Amino acid sequence: MRKLILITFVFFVLSSIIFTSCNEDIIGPKLYWYNSEGEIVQTGDTTVLLYTEYIDPGVYAEDNVSKEENIIITNDAEAILSLTSEGYLRRTGDYIITYVAEDEAGNKSEYLRNIKIRNIAEPFVNSYATSRNALHLAETTYNSSVSADTRVPGRLRFPKVYAHESADKKIYFRVNADLFDPENLSKNYSEKISFMGTKSDAETPFFKDMTYEQGVDTALSFVMLKIDAQEYEDSTGAVSVFIQGITNQTTDYPLSHIEYLTNSKTITKIVLELNVTKDGIVDRVTEVYIPND
């Protein structure tokens, strides 16, 4: 009888060991992405505005054994994203944030969230057919690709302004133009955010609480471009000129502007109205940019 009990006990212990071994937790947690509305979505990829605070939409973790509250989730967003002292995203670009979820058994799963940081001026980034009319240069047409600044929100970069040839050299100027809305936003220039501040605070971006989609929609309501007087080097690095946007003498508002299809937010043209001063001679210049697509 004792022998039977001993055999039964040994069998029970061995069965427990085998059962435990077969049911050992070796599966890492599964992560589900939330969007900004708190809804679970298929991908964590998201686009946000330059000079806004990055707010992680969050993730939902699920494990075959551990409860959600016992799953540890970490990410490297703080190390990956470049922030200002105010906590704003300070450079455009594409970034990958790595999330690691660890269950109670030490199993880890890794997931990646792609973050795109874009300038609120992004809707105007395009290839344009450009035509130029000037007092001292012949009329001409050429293609130019307009980009958005990587650090200053609301700033567009025109890379081939006043393009021409002189002494068999191609000369052009890279000119910055800032979205400007003096009726609703700040008239005061900010080194960090140009004219994207509010009337009450020139250093706080008016779109700081907007999503990328809201920012893009708002950007397509701007009609003025402010080009402050600056000294520029030409493409050869040898010639310096002053280029200044022309303003309305009555309102002092810039004449450089954006035009849209009637009652829509479809861009039809961008017009730069400039004075280009070289060797003390002022050239009155109009450049028209028509989207190529």
Whether the per-residue pLDDT at 16 is higher than 80: the answer is: no
Lowest mean pLDDT segment, chosen from 2-6, 136-140, 170-174, 210-214? 2-6
pLDDT digits (tens, 9 = 90+) for 154-180: 999 999 999 998 888 889 999 999 999
Give the residues across from 13 on adjacent strands. none
**CB within 8 Å of 281: residues ≥ 6 apart:** 136
* Average pLDDT value for the chain: 89
Taking the CA atoms of residue 10, residue 12, residue 14 and residue 19 in that order, the dihedral angle to the nearest 10 degrees is: 180
Three-state secondary structure along 81-119? CCECCCCEECCCEEEEEEEEEECCCCCEEEEEEEEEEEC
- The residue-averaged pLDDT of 221-240 equals 88
Which pLDDT value is given to residue 36?
78
Domain 22-118 is found in CATH 2.30.40.10: no
Which pLDDT value is given to residue 6?
41
Whether the per-residue pLDDT at 10 is higher than 70: the answer is: no
DSSP 68: G
CB 82 within 8 A of CB 92: no
- The residue-averaged pLDDT of 283-287 equals 97
pLDDT digits (tens, 9 = 90+) for 76-95: 998 999 999 889 999 999 99
Whether the per-residue pLDDT at 271 is higher than 60: the answer is: yes
pLDDT digits (tens, 9 = 90+) for 19-47: 444 458 788 899 888 887 888 888 889 99
The H or E element containing residue 218 is helix 212-219
Which pLDDT value is given to residue 14?
41
Percent of the chain with pLDDT over 70: 92
Q: Is 75 exposed, middle or buried (0-12, 13-18, 19+ CB in 10 A)?
A: middle
- The residue-averaged pLDDT of 130-153 equals 96
Half-sphere exposure of 150 (CA within 13 A, CB side): 4
Whether the per-residue pLDDT at 238 is higher than 80: the answer is: no
- The residue-averaged pLDDT of 231-256 equals 90
Question: What pTM was estimated for this model as a whole?
Answer: 0.86
CB 165 within 8 A of CB 236: no
Q: What CATH class does 122-291 carry?
A: mainly beta
Whether the per-residue pLDDT at 125 is higher than 50: the answer is: yes
Whether the per-residue pLDDT at 116 is higher than 50: the answer is: yes
Give the residues across from 89 on adjacent strands. 83
Q: What is the DSSP string of 122-133?
A: GGG-EEEEEEEE
Q: Which two tokens stand for residue 163?
A: 């393009």
pLDDT digits (tens, 9 = 90+) for 42-73: 888 999 999 999 988 888 888 888 888 889 99
- The residue-averaged pLDDT of 119-148 equals 96
pLDDT band for position 3 (50/70/90)?
Answer: very low
Which pLDDT value is given to residue 21?
44
Nearest to 215 by CA among 291, 148, 152, 123: 123
Beta strands in 167-280 (DSSP E): 169-180, 224-226, 230-233, 240-245, 257-260, 267-278
- Domain borders along the chain are 22-118, 122-291
